Structure 1
Amino acid sequence: MRKIMDSCFFCDNIGGTILFNCDLYRIILIDSETDYPGFIRVVLNRHVKEISDLNDKDALSLFKAILESEKIIRDVYNPDKINVASLGNVTPHVHWHIIPRFIYDKHYPNPIWGEVTHPEYIPSKEIIGVKDRLIQQFKNFTI
């Protein structure tokens, strides 16, 4: 039996440190994901369950934000790989995860929600230390 949601995490919470905010969406740094410095989300600011429910203009704006966010993450963190995911099974609200991945991170090559492959992994001080640079890059963010 399908359970009806009484509330939505993304409607009820900012969800992290705001890097950029406009009428359509916000880009947030997920501070709680300490194993994944630079993990951000692009979150639609109104409750919509599926991207296909958006008009073309809004959908294209969101995709441009995802693309530009990925470019910033690549520039700041120089990861081995970027994961971009939009699942919505747990929280049916349009949003994307943009996650810098490194071959030595805790779950690599698995998804970050999968089986741990490197339990001893601790992000380096250099990786953690570029957070201010990431925040600065998003101050110049325009779409």
Structure 2
Amino acid sequence: MTHLPDCPLCQPANPLHLIWRNDKMRVVGVDDPDFPGFTRVIWHDHASEMTELSEEDRQAFMDVVWKVEGVMRAELLPKKINLAQLGNMVPHLHWHVIPRWPLDSRFPDAIWAAPREHTPEQELAWSIFQENLQAQLPAFRAALRDLLENHYA
């Protein structure tokens, strides 16, 4: 397995953020208060492009991304889910799975866009919604862990 010492994604996951792992990849929760439920699927071996993986590994990697999306949809009920695989800043294969809601600070724009202006009422509504989402995250992560552990047992 190839690991680069200066690559942050080659390093082991913080155990507080780790949801699941197997011998090829891991699923981690991202602490981003603007996007509760933000999850990453990270390939362990250092590779920067999907075509560097075998067809079987690409399929397995994407299968986990789709499972994350499915559990996210079922547990968190987002309006939309954004999937992104960029690697411009950190050229190590990883997928972002990001739940989106009309009340979030950038909806309907990309999460990397500048925040939109919101009224105080919208900010309050988002704050309340966000608190409720934070309370749902342990159940979401447990359901995701259970599905992946059972599927890859």
TM-score by length of 1: 0.89
Q: Paired residue for 2:135, among 126, 129, 135?
A: 129
Which amino acid counterpart does residue 113 of structure 1 have in structure 2? W
Which amino acid counterpart does residue 49 of structure 2 have in structure 1? E
Structure 2 CA distance for aligned equivalents of residues 77 and 37 of structure 1: 9
Stretch moving more, 5-14 or 109-118: 5-14
Structure 2 CA distance for aligned equivalents of residues 139 and 81 of structure 1: 22
Q: Which blocks of at least 5 consecutive residues in structure 1 are unaligned? A: none
Which amino acid counterpart does residue 49 of structure 1 have in structure 2? S
User: Would you say the 8 A contact 1:104–1:118 is kept in 2?
Assistant: no
Question: 1:24: Cα distance to partner?
Answer: 0.7
**Partner-residue secondary structure (3-state), 1:9:** coil
Once the two structures are superposed, the pairs formed by residues 63-82 of structure 1 within 5 Å of their partners are: 63-82=62-81
Give the paired residue count. 138
Q: Which blocks of at least 5 consecutive residues in structure 2 are unaligned? A: none
**Partner-residue secondary structure (3-state), 2:27:** strand
**Partner-residue secondary structure (3-state), 2:107:** coil
User: Would you say the 8 A contact 1:108–1:118 is kept in 2?
Assistant: no
**Partner-residue secondary structure (3-state), 2:10:** helix
User: Would you say the 8 A contact 2:36–2:130 is kept in 1?
Assistant: no
Structure 2 CA distance for aligned equivalents of residues 40 and 71 of structure 1: 12
Please name the residue that 1:28 is paired with: 28
RMSD: 1.7
Which amino acid counterpart does residue 124 of structure 1 have in structure 2? Q
| Identity over aligned pairs, percent | 28
Structure 2 CA distance for aligned equivalents of residues 56 and 127 of structure 1: 36
User: Would you say the 8 A contact 1:11–1:45 is kept in 2?
Assistant: yes
Structure 1 residues 133 and 6 mapped into 2: Cα distance closer, same or farther (>3 Å)?
closer
Question: 1:115: Cα distance to partner?
Answer: 1.4
From the two aligned structures, give the one with the greater helix fraction: 2
Structure 2 CA distance for aligned equivalents of residues 112 and 56 of structure 1: 30
